[in-house]
Amino acid sequence: MLIIGICGASGSGKSTLASELCAAIGDGCMVINHDNYYRDHPHLTLQERALLNYDEPGIFDHELFLQDMKTLLSGRPITCKAYDYNAHRRADREEELIYPTDVLIIEGIHVFYDERLCELLFLKLYMSVEPDICLLRRIQRDINERGRSIDNISVQYLSTVKPMYDKHIRNYIELADVIVAHGGRNARVVDILAGYVRDELGNRAGEP
């Protein structure tokens, strides 16, 4: 199984590129969102959970994510992880199993944070998009998909999103194998990457 990591700022087009690349690769490819591995905080109230910093690395359960990736690489299935953004709680679907596939694409703002995970990645892609474009995309997503207000988005952006981008996320570009510009709908880049991955799968299939 080949694991491809896609990293970059919130709103940079990670999910779009993951979807486009998965479709271009075809059968035998799937996507897992790192956001599904936010730590759960059942002991906190909804108001307290809403105030957590969801853009800092420690908010993610990196150990569980690494364990699940290793389990898939070993040929065994994992349970489906999920997250409820309205309740700010994990909403795992324990009855649903995810089985290993030829290509797994993982995407998230801190996918490159854990050095151990980076060592498992066949290909590391970093989304390089201007911060103002990322902000506009984030506003559209949070309003349309998560029912948030402009005031709420603004406060979160200034207090957690931008500081964590400046401190961590912008530096992940140094770990990338490929830097992707112009967002996730870069058709030429998608075709090139998909062809490269298919060639690698073919080479591995031909190995004795």
**What string of H, E and C letters represents the secondary structure of 122-185?**
CEEEEEECCHHHHHHHHHHHHHHHHCCCHHHHHHHHHHHHHHHHHHCHHHHHHHCCEEEECCCC
- Which tens digits make up the pLDDT trace of 97-144? 999 999 999 999 999 999 999 999 999 999 998 877 777 777 887 788
Identify the pLDDT of residue 208. 60
Q: Hey, is 3 helix, strand or coil?
A: strand
Residue 28: predicted pLDDT: 95
Q: Where are the domains of the chain?
A: 2-205
Minimal CA–CA distance to 194: which of 123, 129, 101? 123
Tokens encoding 10: 């919130």
Quickly name the fold that domain 2-205 has.
Rossmann fold (3.40.50)
SS3 assignment, position 96: strand
Which residues of the chain fall below pLDDT 50? none
For residue 77, the SS3 value is: coil
Distance CA(38)–CA(44), nearest Å, equals 14
- Give pLDDT, residue 144: 80
Continuous H helices in 42-129: 46-50, 62-73, 115-118
- Which contacts of 14-18 are long-range, i.e. CB under 8 A and separated by 24 or more positions? 14/107, 14/108, 14/109, 14/127, 14/184, 15/107, 15/184, 16/183, 16/184, 16/185, 17/107, 17/125, 17/127, 17/180, 17/183, 17/184, 17/185, 17/186, 17/190, 18/105, 18/107, 18/184
